[in-house]
Structure formats: C-alpha cells, structure tokens
Amino acid sequence: MLSLANAFNKNDVEDFIDRVRKFLNIDNKEKIKFVCEPKIDGLSVNLNYKDGILKSASTRGDGKIGENVTKNIQTIVGIPSKLEEKNYPKQIEIRGEIFLNKKDFIQLNEGLNEKNKFSNPRNAAAGSLRQLDSNVTKQRPLKFLAHGIGESTKKYITMSEFYEDLNKWKIPSNNLIKICDSINSMINYFENLKEIRNTIQYDIDGIVYKVDSLKLQRRLGFIGKNPRWAIALKFSAEKAFTTIKKIDFQVGRTGAITPVARLSEVNIGGVVISNATLHNFDEIEKKDIREGDKVEIQRAGDVIPQVLKVVKKEKNRKKITKPPLNCPVCGSKTIKEKDEAVIRCTNTVSCDAQNLGGLIHFVSKKSLNIEGLGEKQINQFYKLGFIKNFEDIFYINRYKNIILDLEGWGELSFQNLIKSIEKSKSIALDKFIFSLGIRYVGETLSNLIAKEFLTIDAFINSSIDKERLFNIDGLGPKVINSIYDYMQNKRNQQIVLNLSKILNIANFKKPKSHKLFSNKNVVFTGTLSILSREEAKYLAVQLGAKISSSVTSKTDYVIVGKNPGSKAKKAKELGISILSEDDWIKKTSS
C-alpha cells in the first residue's frame, strides 16, 4: 500500500495525463478512462479475505509493513466478517479508508476530557483504531469506504468491475465515484465536489484520479513510493492571519539552517499553529518579512505551515534577519554552497543539532521504526550521554538502572523499548540506507541504490566507486557526490561497518529474473516506436537488468531504435550484442 503523488492545479493534472500517455506510448486521440473519487482524510487499511472470510487487517505503515489491527477492524459496522454471495475470489485484498464523520467527531470530543481530546477527525480515527482495548474501538463510530484492490486470485479488467463486486459483497464504496475520460470532465468533477465539500458528512482534502484499466496500471507500475497510474488533486490550502513574534534559527540533521517564524497562536482547520517555516534567507529578503509584522500563513494537509506574505508592517520595523555567520547551536562557521539557497553548518562531527537530527531520523518510522524511542526520548538520552551515535542505541541496556529512576520510565516501558530495539535489528537494505540520513538520499533513491547493490557488503565496498554510482540510472551528480563523500569519510565507514554487524540487514529482494537479462548491463539508444523509453527501462529493471547511460566494455546489450547514433557504433566496435526494439520485446516475452 503506497502513497499518492500530489497535484495542486489543472496544469499538474494535465502533466500527469501526459506522463501516463508518454509512458504507455499512447497518442492524444486515444481515450484513457480515469476513476475519480473524493480523497478521504482518514487512515488507510488493507483487508485480507480468504474464501470470503476476513482473515486479517493492517494499516498502510511504510507501504510494505503495516500494523495489525484485525481485532479492532472486526468491531466496525460496515466491514463484513464474511462476504455475501458466492462469487468471491479464493483470496482478495480490499483497500480503503477508516474515518469519522464530522458530526461523530464533535460528539466524541465532547465526551473526552481536555487532555484526551483529538485535534481533528483523522487523528481521532487513527487513535480509535489503534486502541489496545478493542472494546474502546467498538464504542467509537468509525466508518469504512473501500477504494482499491491489492492481491487477488480473480484478475479484474477494470476498477469499475471491482467496484461492482464490492457492491454485491455489501462492502461500502464511495457513492460519489465517477468515470471521466478528458481533462475537462476531470476538472469539472473537482470543481463540483469543491462546491459541495462542506455538505459532505466527512472530511475530504482533494480528489483521487486513477487509471481505470488494471492492465494499464500494471504496465505503468510505480516510481519510488508512488503509483504512476494515480494522483491526488488537493484542495487549496487553508489560510489565516497572525503576527510574527520572533524569528529563530533551526539546524537540521544535514546542517541546513532554516529560519522559523514563532507566531501568535492561530487556529487553521482545527489545528493550532504557533510556528511557520520561512524556508531560507533569500525568501525573507524577497518577501521583506520582519519580526512584529502581521502576515498571511497557509497550511496544506500535513505540510509545515508557511508564511505567504506580509499584510501589515509594524510601525517601528526591526532590521531584516540576516544569515548567521556561525551555527546557532555549535558556533562553527556557516557556508552557502554554490547554486544553493540554504546556509549550512560546517561542523558535521560534533554539532549537537545535526547529531540529534540524525539520531531522530535513524529511529523514525520510515527508518528503523523503534517504538518508544521518539524525539523526546532521544533528546533525553542524548543530554544524559547514553546515546551519542547510532550504535549506542543497541547498548542502552547498560543504563537500565538509571533510566528506571527517570520520570516517565518504569520496568514495563523499558522492557517494551528493549523489545522494540531488538525487533528493529531486522531491516531491509533500502530502509537501512535511508536510515543513514545521507544528504539528498530519500526513500526513492534508497530503493534505487539497494536495487543496484543488493547486499550490504556490496554497498559498503562499491559506494566509493564513482564510476559504478554514475552508471545507476536515476542518480544525478549531486546525489552521487553526496554518497561518495559520506562513504569516503572514515568515521562514517566505521559506523556503517559496525551497524552491519549489529543488524540483520536483509538482501534486497531481486526483481523477477530473466535468463537473458538478469544482472546484465543494458543501454537504450535511438527512438523507440512500440514502447516509450521510460517504460522500456522500467521493464528492463523489472527483469533484473541494470540500466547504463553509456556504452563500455562492461555493457552486455544495446537496444536500438530509430536513429541510434554513436552508441550503436561504439557497441559494434566493442562486439557488444545489439538488439532491435522488436527483438528485445520478443526476448523479454519468452
């Protein structure tokens, strides 16, 4: 279960459709049908039915591993424990959203004391579903609407066909779903829902557009964490006016120094906002933002609130905030790198802010996912000197007696932490690479790098080989230099080596192999006529091939289209196998 990419206007949706057409090599004359439905602001879940019986249910989690919520899901009215009729598949995963109606949310909060009140319906739904006591969940008026399909023994042709089956099985889906086949009809649907948004019983934060044909969905596949075949068009951000009380500096885990506006508290969409990002110092100067000014701020979804503009300048204005010459945390010199707007602290070894940021990132949900060791606990243990680097986390037991005497800690909470740390030791290679916090290397690129190296040993030994890095399709010069610099650092090398001994880092699961192309270096050149270049590369990677941008003695195959140019010529000179697009498609299909 993966997340959707976002669109914010008609142009973004048009770009999405163009990308779909380009990837599939479909011209503008051919219609593509899209399922359009409201994007509910709730908690995504996956229901697994076997022989018509609900066997398990889980949250989306990180897209691969979610939280088991089977017992609590069974208490929700509208989710059948057994599918009606007899035409259900042997096995099927039904995906959807758990949410609370606006009215039910208000009533729920009225019955809670001030400390336990929820800030919005989404948090209330998530908190209710994750209750340890299923009787508490049963008392909460949670709702469910299905919106997607996972694994299934029945091979559906379209999403529309799947929705018809949901109706037969008495599984609720959205009654506002519509099929559209043009940009105008898709945008009209969006505008119509925006008009009636306030009359809908539950919160929605946009519209989801997804390709109706499941065959086309399979061809389009995924890019990183996002499906190529779907996008969410978000409603405009909510805005409000407030005053900047102070401008502070925040130092991130990569040393980036970000100016942050401390605001007079203001409520936006049920959330109290007291801070907003100012992005960088160029932005402050461009918008002429100063302490004491009245400003317009906006908050869109989970995005950090930002200052849009000054609406009223303070009478006796203060001087504009300038970039600090020294890090506000460790006092080291700051630098502004070429072609970057960001100011950075140069101390990558002993800056407390960077070290803390790195530790918090390392234990976070998308990294090692150590429950019970969040930002608060990391700060506490760092100040006490218990955890100064990644490795220290796995030896926290040595401080047990001291920790048990700290406020908020007891035998049970400590043992739960130890269990969570032990559990975190089994980790996939891509998540491990992401957890290191290498600059510019997010989840998508971590996955790409893991797919190239496959094992932790190969990553350690080959990530200092720039030529190897340059041959990874999808990595740009900035990323390559960042990985190279990180792994060239002796301290980092030792950290990664030590962690590889402490953790059980699973090899990256190899893509579906093909006898001809598995682990082979493939180069595409010329204009392809049947597949788009993007789809051809994606297909090759799925078959286990490695995509290279240049022809060398290590290249195994060169696939040529029309007007191939110098790469085909070099391949001939080196005696490398050259395949036409037709030949390549035939061989990949065999």
Share of the chain above pLDDT 70, in %: 97
Residue 514's pLDDT band, with cuts at 50, 70 and 90, is low
Share of the chain above pLDDT 90, in %: 61
Residue 63: is its pLDDT beyond 60?
no
Q: Residue 302's pLDDT is what?
A: 54
Instruction: Name which of 16-20, 129-133, 375-379, 444-448 the model is least confident about.
Output: 129-133
DSSP tag of 526: S
Residue 138: is its pLDDT beyond 60?
yes
pLDDT in tens, 467-495: 889 888 778 899 999 999 999 999 999 99
Q: Residue 515's pLDDT is what?
A: 73
Distance CA 508, CA 512 (A): 12
Q: Residue 10's pLDDT is what?
A: 94
Q: Which of 39, 210, 234, 431 is catalytic?
A: 39
**CA distance readout (Å), 288 to 57, 280, 314:** 51, 12, 12
CA atoms within 13 A of residue 225's CA, in its CB half-sphere:
18
Residue 237's pLDDT band, with cuts at 50, 70 and 90, is confident
Q: Residue 267's pLDDT is what?
A: 82
Are 504 and 426 in contact by the 8 Å Cβ rule? The answer is yes
| Residue 499, phi then psi, degrees to nearest 5 | -65, -35
pTM, to two decimals: 0.65
Burial class (CB in 10 A: 0-12, 13-18, 19+), 132: exposed
Region 279-287 average pLDDT = 92
Are 451 and 541 in contact by the 8 Å Cβ rule? The answer is yes
| Residue 546, phi then psi, degrees to nearest 5 | -110, 130
Residue 12: is its pLDDT beyond 90?
yes
Written as six digits, the tokens of 301 are 């979804």
Q: Residue 1's pLDDT is what?
A: 61
pLDDT in tens, 314-358: 988 999 999 999 999 999 999 998 878 899 999 988 999 999 999
Q: Residue 119's pLDDT is what?
A: 75
Instruction: Name which of 157-171, 202-216, 288-302, 359-373 the model is least confident about.
Output: 288-302
Instruction: Name which of 179-188, 508-517, 558-567 the model is least confident about.
Output: 508-517
Domains of the chain: 6-234 (3.30.470.30), 238-330 (2.40.50.140), 352-424 (1.10.150.20), 428-506 (1.10.150.20), 521-589 (3.40.50.10190)
Please give the helix or strand (H or E) that residue 483 lies within, else none. helix 477-488
> Has 39 been annotated as catalytic?
yes
Region 355-384 average pLDDT = 93
Residue among 338, 358, 377, 354 at smallest CA distance from 258: 354
pLDDT in tens, 296-306: 998 865 567 89
Selected residue with higher pLDDT from 115 and 533 = 533
Selected residue with higher pLDDT from 536 and 144 = 144
Please give the helix or strand (H or E) that residue 499 lies within, else none. helix 490-502
Residue 176: is its pLDDT beyond 60?
yes
Residues of the chain by 3-state class (helix, strand, coil), percent to 5: 35, 25, 40
Bridge partner residues of 427 (DSSP): 505
Distance CA 15, CA 216 (A): 18
* Count of C-beta atoms within a 10 Å radius of residue 432: 22
